[in-house]
Chains A and B, each alone.
Chain A
Amino acid sequence: MVARLRELSYAQAIQEAMALAMEADERVFLMGEDIGVYGGAFQVTGDLVNRFGEERVMDTPISELGGAGVAVGAAVTGMRPIFEFQFSDFATLAMEQIVNQAAKMRFMLGGAVSVPVVMRFPAGSGTGAAAQHSQSLEAWLGHVPGLKVIQPATPHDAKGMLLAAIEDPDPVMIFEHKLLYKMKGSVPEGHYTVPIGKAEIRREGRYLTVVATSIMVHKALEAAKALEGEGIDVEVVDLRTVRPMDRETVIDSVKKTSRLLTVYEGVKTLGIGAEVSAMIAESDAFDFLDAPIVRLGGAETPIPYNPELERATVPQVPDIVAAARDLVRGAR
């Protein structure tokens, strides 16, 4: 039977995933700052506290390090915690527990435990919140073996990947772009999962592969549409998972189009685009390249407050259009 589709926002889709998981499994519970009666800084948990009570929708003190550690401890002892960071930037306060404990505990103990914790990170710029509330730190965590790092770009994937994350025995970090929370899309009712580690081709094309993450997927699709009229046929790959990265889908796409542009919001240097580029350079897709690989990433600066400066910090649709046009027309 095909599940009925409805229009839900990205935030509603996440909330629905959490509610479904909590209904199905009493080990699943939520922790985070102001996720109870307040409903979360971005209203993602909303009124879940009314449905599930304070024991399962737990407001924590403002203690990111301790809170993340409590979630890790609960995960290794039989619970399935979902820990919400108010902003992904606050991961910096909890890096010890994420990097040294959650990621390594199974390995250090020779497989004696699993750490089924989910951590949610509202990420990205565009809200005028300036340098300490706008970062995209997914590449930091993507650098740590033991973690899985995902960036769903649509309401459909947000729900399906979160459900996959909750069922995953290992720690999964979800980066949710704040500007996506209100975006609507069709979402099936009921339970379904979208696999972690699988990229998705959002649009097929012949002349250029754009590998994009999170909100950049939508900007890339917009750019691809604008380029249609010029006869530039762009393929858009939504990477969806930073670790473990889907090599096959990206490599096959580049073999087909012979050109690669990566678009991501995190700082360009040493970012996700560097990894995707290197992956192609090291693979047999390298022989298929007709042009140098190009990366479009965040500027080498903290996120500024001024809205024009803020927009200029991260790739925008015209930047993608220009880069794609140059690549396909051989200007690069």
Chain B
Amino acid sequence: MATRASAGAAEAGANLPFLYRHHDKDALKEALYKMHLIRLFEEGAEESYMRGLIHGTMHLSIGQEASAVGICLPLTDDDQITSTHRGHGHSIAKGADVARMFAEFFGKTTGYCRGRGGSMHIADVSKGNLGANGIVGGGIPIAVGAALSAKQLKNCKVVVCFFGDGANNEGAFHEALNMAAIWKLPVVFVCENNQYGMSTSAERSTAVKDIAERAAAYSMPGVIVNGNVLSDVAEASHQAVQRARAGEGPTLIESKTYRYRGHSKSDRNRYRTKDEIEDWMTNRDPIALYEAELKALGIFGQDEIDVVRAAAAKEIAAGIEFAKESPSPETTDLEQYVYTEPA
């Protein structure tokens, strides 16, 4: 059976939730900064799309900020992640530069993928982000392969594999979890259950009530966590990463969360009610919950929070400017990067 991580409340003998016992003020501020940076990035990307500066489509993760930041909190720059089509937040949480992300979305040569990948393939290999993926479940076996490398090269790296509730019904999910378990690989599977695979609810698509239950089939711990509570996510990730690094094998974390925007830019939100969306935005917003906690615990006042948010907004504005001013690739370079160029 899947276990439920402590619901943010104090544990026996400790008055503070996990996050505040394990991280200093600077780290807490950094986490808040990154959550704001993700939200503002998504809003900036959405606005740029509306203004015709970004083409194609994109999948926004507004509402899922605590999940991305909390999971990446215990990771080092050497640890690796694989991400999903809804991967902007993961990328920022793992340390990517938003200017180069915007440049990628604008199709510019200064982008992380030199304009060849766009939103759906955003990556930052220098910080261990092996890339978002346009195929649902496509990154799951790749994460297991990266974890196999870590084990064989004995480099102590841990790999975090993000995917959504939709991916848990792909064959790749089951094949990959089984292999990670039989080989005891240092990988943490993170299912961000935002409740809908495009329009189809997890309830309609998935035979188990909680996706974390599926961990039992692969003899690994399955942990359910409130994905909108930063401390709870960070605690679950901390334990799973520790377990992986100690050579004890994989964990499946189900981070229950919600996306405010549609699946992509073509979504008319016909499969859920306005009330449902409104309820999540008003009562369970991850940034609001974190800020309330910071204030209640007397760690930051509203003034300090405002300063953090303003700094993030400034970085976003500068990033968009950088992207606008960057050069586009030449069509004569069309076939570049298909194969590795001879040294």
Which A positions have Cβ atoms within 8 angstroms of B? Answer: 27, 29, 55, 60-61, 63, 65-79, 81, 96-97, 100-101, 105-114, 145-146, 148, 169-170
Task: Write 20 A-B pairs (CB below 8 A) sorted by A numbering.
Answer: A61-B179, A66-B141, A66-B144, A66-B174, A67-B179, A70-B179, A72-B142, A73-B146, A77-B145, A77-B149, A79-B148, A79-B149, A106-B337, A106-B340, A107-B337, A108-B113, A109-B125, A110-B111, A110-B116, A170-B339
The answer to whether A108 touches B153, judged by C-beta atoms less than 8 angstroms apart, is no
Known: A63-B175, A70-B144, A70-B179. 20 other contacts (CB 8 A): A61-B182, A66-B172, A67-B179, A69-B140, A73-B82, A73-B147, A74-B152, A76-B146, A77-B145, A77-B146, A101-B133, A105-B131, A106-B338, A106-B340, A108-B113, A108-B116, A110-B111, A112-B113, A112-B123, A145-B338
Nearest residue (CB) in B for A64 is B175
Nearest residue (CB) in B for A169 is B340
The answer to whether B113 touches A74, judged by C-beta atoms less than 8 angstroms apart, is no
Bound CA–CA A112/B131 (angstroms): 10
The answer to whether A73 touches B142, judged by C-beta atoms less than 8 angstroms apart, is yes
Kindly list chain A residues whose C-beta atoms are within 8 Å of the C-beta of B143: 73
Kindly list chain A residues whose C-beta atoms are within 8 Å of the C-beta of B141: 65-70, 72-73, 97
For chain B, the count of residues having a C-beta within 8 Å of the partner chain is 44
Interface residue? B8 (CB, 8 A): no
Kindly list chain B residues whose C-beta atoms are within 8 Å of the C-beta of A81: 145
CB contact list, B128-146 vs A, under 8 A: 130-131, 133-135, 138, 140-146
The answer to whether B123 touches A71, judged by C-beta atoms less than 8 angstroms apart, is no
Pick the most buried of B133, B145, B339: most chain A CB atoms within 10 A of its CB: B145
Bound CA–CA A72/B149 (angstroms): 11
B148 contacts which of A65, A74, A101, A111 (Cβ < 8 Å)?
A74
Q: Mark B140-164 against chain A: 1 for CB-CB distance below 8 A, else 0.
A: 1111111111101100000000000
The answer to whether B176 touches A29, judged by C-beta atoms less than 8 angstroms apart, is no
Nearest residue (CB) in B for A56 is B152
Q: Mark B105-139 against chain A: 1 for CB-CB distance below 8 A, else 0.
A: 00000011111110001010100001101110010
B176 contacts which of A69, A107, A110 (Cβ < 8 Å)?
A69
Bound CA–CA A112/B339 (angstroms): 12
Bound CA–CA A100/B178 (angstroms): 22
Bound CA–CA A101/B150 (angstroms): 20
Nearest residue (CB) in A for B155 is A78
Pick the most buried of A73, A75, A146: most chain B CB atoms within 10 A of its CB: A73
Kindly list chain A residues whose C-beta atoms are within 8 Å of the C-beta of B113: 108-110, 112
Bound CA–CA A72/B130 (angstroms): 12
Nearest residue (CB) in A for B114 is A110
A110 contacts which of B152, B179, B337 (Cβ < 8 Å)?
B337
Bound CA–CA A9/B29 (angstroms): 65
7 closest A-B pairs by beta carbon, nearest first, are A73-B145, A69-B141, A66-B175, A110-B114, A73-B142, A110-B113, A63-B175
Interface residue? B283 (CB, 8 A): no
The answer to whether A60 touches B179, judged by C-beta atoms less than 8 angstroms apart, is yes
Nearest residue (CB) in A for B180 is A70
The answer to whether A75 touches B171, judged by C-beta atoms less than 8 angstroms apart, is no
A265 to nearest B CB, angstroms?
A: 27
Bound CA–CA A60/B152 (angstroms): 16
Bound CA–CA A110/B107 (angstroms): 11
The answer to whether A170 touches B337, judged by C-beta atoms less than 8 angstroms apart, is no
Kindly list chain A residues whose C-beta atoms are within 8 Å of the C-beta of B150: 77
Bound CA–CA A253/B146 (angstroms): 46
Q: Quick one: given A100-B134, A109-B123, A110-B115, are A76 and B142 in contact (CB under 8 Å)?
A: yes
Interface residue? B80 (CB, 8 A): yes
B50 to nearest A CB, angstroms?
A: 25
Bound CA–CA A114/B123 (angstroms): 14
A72 contacts which of B134, B145, B174 (Cβ < 8 Å)?
B145
Kindly list chain A residues whose C-beta atoms are within 8 Å of the C-beta of B340: 106, 111, 114, 169-170
The answer to whether A73 touches B144, judged by C-beta atoms less than 8 angstroms apart, is yes
Interface residue? B266 (CB, 8 A): no
A65 contacts which of B153, B175, B182 (Cβ < 8 Å)?
B175
Kindly list chain A residues whose C-beta atoms are within 8 Å of the C-beta of B172: 65-66, 69, 96-97
Kindly list chain B residues whose C-beta atoms are within 8 Å of the C-beta of A60: 179
A1 to nearest B CB, angstroms?
A: 27
Kindly list chain B residues whose C-beta atoms are within 8 Å of the C-beta of A71: 145
Kindly list chain B residues whose C-beta atoms are within 8 Å of the C-beta of A108: 113, 116-117, 121, 123, 131
The answer to whether B149 touches A74, judged by C-beta atoms less than 8 angstroms apart, is yes
Bound CA–CA A79/B336 (angstroms): 24
Bound CA–CA A164/B183 (angstroms): 30
